[in-house]
Structure 1
C-alpha cells in the first residue's frame, strides 16, 4: 500500500510543478509581448492581459 500511496503523491507533486511552470511560461510570454510588440495597440492589449493574469494569480 505504501508504494502506491507514494506514487500517487509523487504524481500529484509532478502535476503541480508542471502546471506552475506552464503558468510561468504563459506569464513570461505576455510580459515579452507587452514590451516587444510593434504597435502601441498590441502593447496595450498585452498589458491588459498581463493585468488580468496577475489579478487572477493574486486571488488564488
Structure 2
C-alpha cells in the first residue's frame, strides 16, 4: 500500500511532467506563429496560442 509521502511525490512528478509538456506545446505554437511560411499557418498558430493562453479571471465581467 502506498504511503502518503509516496502519493504526494508521484503527484508532484506528474504535475511537473504536465507543466513541461504544456510549456513545449505553447513554445511550439509560438514559434510556428512567428516562423510559418504561409500567413494561413501563422494565423492558425496564433489562434491556438489564444486558446492555450486564455486568461481565466474567474467570473469578472470586463465589458465596461
Q: Calculate the TM-score normalised by the size of structure 1.
A: 0.85
Unaligned 5+ segments in structure 1 are none
Give the total of aligned pairs.
57
Aligned residue in 2 for 1:34: 33
Aligned residue in 1 for 2:49: 50
Structure 2 distance, partners of 1:53, 1:31, is 11
Structure 2 distance, partners of 1:45, 1:16, is 28
Structure 2 distance, partners of 1:48, 1:9, is 36
Q: Calculate the TM-score normalised by the size of structure 2.
A: 0.80
Where in structure 1 do 4 or more consecutive aligned residues deviate above 4 Å? none
Post-superposition shift, 1:28? 0.2
Please report the RMSD computed on the Cα atoms of aligned residues, expressed in angstroms: 1.9
Post-superposition shift, 1:42? 0.7
Unaligned 5+ segments in structure 2 are 58-64
From the two aligned structures, give the one with the greater helix fraction. Answer: 1
